[in-house]
Amino acid sequence: MIVKFHTPGKDFDWIVRQYQFIYSDPNEIVYDKFIPREDVALVFHLGSRPHLVGEQSLVLPPYFLTPIKSRAHQIRCFGNLSTFIVLCNPTVLSKIFSVNMDNGEIPFLELSAELFLPLWEKLVKCETEESRINCFQEFITGMNYPSYKPDTIDCFYHKIINEGVRTPLSRIENSFDLSERTLQRKFRIRTGVTPKTLIRIVRINHIWNKLKKGETPDYQNIVFEGNYFDQTHFIKDFKAITGETPDCFFKRDLFYAKSLSGKQSE
């Protein structure tokens, strides 16, 4: 499996956080997890389509939106995989496309065929990564969306992303004028999860980013770094989100998990 990343230019970083391309050998079979992230993804499968494995195995659509998820999902990739992923700011994307992200634990949201099928067809015809990025950027530009101005929910989201590891949620919420109930309700519509769940995801990914390949977790340091109550609190949160204990997770080869989860490998 080959994974490549591109950083968006300043004209598009208000919505795009990262571009990702995934390719695989036709004879290669990949089976691993997508670990929840703090952003959402527009996914375009331009070759073979992976299977989502669980209670009911299903073939993923050619294009879809992945909301923020509170738990990991197993994915099986095979065939000639050629996938273009646009990792986006969830509060911005949900606003400009008028998408209600609050749909429970469903693994993906279907996108309007009227709007996204023509884009997918153009992407299939593109021959380079740069041309696919340009094609997507032309699509966003063609929406003629006015200059984006962050609102309260955007600011709340960014505050959680930037300060959630070390700052209690109550303190973050108190920095806004909206009531706690209204803030949380609007946040869930725009992101698909509660602020508390997002903080848990942010902390787990912060720890994952801190640990080097093959490094044995230092629980005392992790409890401090992630602002957990104790070791039990961390292990419980980690297993709920990843489906594995930290010991099992960090001892195995995480290349495919990183690739499927949009993390750049070391």
Tokens 């992303």 map to which residue?
161
Tokens of 210: 């801190």
> b/e for 131-154, b at 16 or more Cβ within 10 A?
ebbebbbebbeeeeeeeeeeeebb
pTM of the model: 0.90
Contact in structure between 78 and 55 (CB atoms under 8 Å) = no
Rg (Cα) of the chain, in Å, rounded?
19
Confidence of residue 76 (pLDDT cuts 50, 70, 90): very high
Residue 186 CA to residue 153 CA, distance in Å, equals 7
**What is the Cα 127 distance to its own chain's centre?**
26
Residue 264 CA to residue 21 CA, distance in Å, equals 11
Higher pLDDT residue, 225 or 157?
Answer: 157
Structural domains in the chain, sorted by start = 2-146 (2.60.120.10), 152-258 (1.10.10.60)
Considering only CA atoms, which of 209, 183, 207, 187 is closest in space to residue 198? 187
* pLDDT over threshold 60, residue 109: yes
Confidence of residue 55 (pLDDT cuts 50, 70, 90): low
Q: What would the mean pLDDT of 1-10 be, rounded to a whole number?
A: 92
Lowest mean pLDDT among 78-92, 151-165, 193-207, 217-231: 217-231
Q: What would the mean pLDDT of 4-32 be, rounded to a whole number?
A: 92
pLDDT of 143 reads 86
pLDDT of 104 reads 72
Considering only CA atoms, which of 32, 29, 64, 17 is closest in space to residue 45? 64
pLDDT of 95 reads 93
Q: What is the mean pLDDT of the chain?
A: 90
* pLDDT over threshold 70, residue 56: no
Confidence of residue 75 (pLDDT cuts 50, 70, 90): very high
Cβ contacts of 13 within 8 Å, gap of 6 or more? none
Confidence of residue 65 (pLDDT cuts 50, 70, 90): very high
Q: What would the mean pLDDT of 107-135 be, rounded to a whole number?
A: 95
pLDDT of 183 reads 92
* pLDDT over threshold 80, residue 63: yes
Note the pLDDT tens digit of each residue in 22-44.
998 888 899 999 999 999 999 99
